[in-house]
Structures are given as C-alpha cells and as structure tokens.
Amino acid sequence: MTEKLEASDLVETSEDTGGQSAVDQVVAQIRQLIDTDGLTVGDKLPTERELCERFAISRNTVREAMRMLKAYGIVDVRPKVGATIIDERMNRALDIFSFNVAEISRRTFDDIQGFRELIETGTALAIFDAATPKDMAELRDLNRRMVQTRSVVEASEFDFEFHIKLISLTGNGSILDVYGIMKPVILRIMQHGKTRRIIEGETYQEHEGVLRAVEETDHLAYQYLMRTHLRQGLAAFSKQAAIPEGKT
C-alpha cells in the first residue's frame, strides 16, 4: 500500500534546525552525507529504506527530498536504479536565467556590460602575467574565425569564446561559472545591431587592439580599449525600447 504524505513531514520544525521543515532537514542531511562520504558524480546514494533508517524519517519525506535534489540538479532518480549523483546545477541556473533572454532593455545592457567591464578591465594584470605566446595565438585564431563565419549568430559565439579565453587566463573558475550563466544574455547583446561590416571591421580591430595591449603589457591601453569595446553598441539601445526576439 502506498504510504501517504504526512503533513507533519513537510512542516515539522524544531528550534535545533532553525525552523526548517522535515523535508529541508533531509535535503541538508543528504547533502552532508554526500560530502562526508566523499561521494561524487556517478556514485549512488543509499536506498530509500536505508535513508529512512539512517535519518529516522518516513519514506514519503525522503522521496520529497529526492524530488528537491533532482530539481536542484544534484541527483538523478530512476526506477530500479535508485538515486545517482549528477552535477547539473549550472544548467539549472542557466535555464532560470534564460527566461529573461527574450527581451533585453537598455538597463539590462548597462548592468551586464558594466559587470563585464569591472571583471575584464580589473583582471588585466593577472592576464598579463599568465598570457603565453600559445594563448595569444589561440586568441587571434578565435578572432579570425569570428570574421570567417557566415552568420552574426555564429560570429557572436566566437566573440564570446574570445572573451572567455581571455578571462580564463586569470585562473578564476568562479568568474567562468558566472559567465556561463550569463552567456544567453551576453550573446544577445553581442548580436544586437551587428552586421558583417561591424564584425569584420570594428569588433575584429577592437579585439586586435586589446591583444596588442596584452603583448605590450600596457595596462592603461588595455583598460581603455577593453572599456571602449564593451561600451560599443550602446547607441543601438533606445531608452524605452527593448530588443524584440528574432530581430537581431
């Protein structure tokens, strides 16, 4: 007989758990179990019965906790297989962020490009220290491939990869994670108002100027050129209108 979901399983709280529901407690306990047992992607979690016994909780509460962990992109639950650890957290965040991609306002442009300006100009010295001839060759290859593509959409992908390659030289994984989340919006900003002329002329030359500043370790030139580059396209945004999807 199927066990009914008890209300107490969902709203049960105590002072010791900071007001968490029973399900929230189990989610936290399972995440702690993953950490303390050194489990990683591909490993299986204990069975529902084992988790019930371990945490002294009902099976329905365990199942609800598993549904939450699945929604977070931490586990994959399959019949007769059980719960397997995965890592789809970045994809979940990307899905949430993508809901706002259809329309990009002037304010969104200012916010995103302003954030990028802080990161991409503020990491100049770290980039100078890390850049090798091989890195510079890869960056120039991305820039060339950008102008060789047949569409603005493809060109924007290479434009994005150029900037990702540049900031990856900092060795900061957290920055790359954030850029991964923002990628759909950054791509639409890159695509908006661009034509082949702009890509082959302005964008390509601006990238080359940034690369020369890296090679010459010219901090002031790098900051000026990168800031100017990121602010290009601002004129394409009116103060009122948003970008209709499919019009880039």
Residue 196 amino acid letter: R
Distances (CA, A) of 93 to 141, 164, 166: 30, 19, 23
Q: In degrees, to the nearest 5, what angle opens at C-alpha 177 toward C-alphas 143 and 39?
A: 135
- Measured CA to CA, the distance from residue 183 to residue 185 in angstroms comes to 6
Please tell me the predicted confidence (pLDDT) of residue 15: 40
Please tell me the predicted confidence (pLDDT) of residue 134: 97
- Measured CA to CA, the distance from residue 70 to residue 83 in angstroms comes to 9
Residue 30 DSSP symbol:
H
Residue 39: other Cβ atoms inside 10 A: 16
Architecture of the structural domain at 93-236: Up-down Bundle (1.20)
The residue written with tokens 């490009």 in the block is 113
Please tell me the predicted confidence (pLDDT) of residue 73: 76
Please tell me the predicted confidence (pLDDT) of residue 132: 96
Contact indicator for 59, 3 with CB cutoff of 8 Å:
yes
Dihedral, 9, 10, 14, 15 alpha carbons, nearest 10: 160
Contact indicator for 210, 226 with CB cutoff of 8 Å:
yes
Q: What global pTM score does this model have?
A: 0.59
Domain boundaries, the chain: 7-87, 93-236
| One pLDDT digit (tens) per residue for the chain, 248 residues | 333 434 333 334 334 445 567 888 888 899 888 888 888 888 899 999 999 999 999 988 998 888 888 877 788 888 878 898 887 665 555 555 554 555 567 777 888 888 999 999 999 999 999 999 999 999 999 999 998 887 888 899 999 999 999 999 999 988 998 898 888 888 888 887 677 667 768 899 999 999 999 999 999 999 999 999 998 876 655 544 444 444 43
- Per DSSP, the chain holds a count of helices (H) and strands (E) of 13, 2
Please tell me the predicted confidence (pLDDT) of residue 197: 60
Class of domain 7-87: mainly alpha
Please tell me the predicted confidence (pLDDT) of residue 68: 81
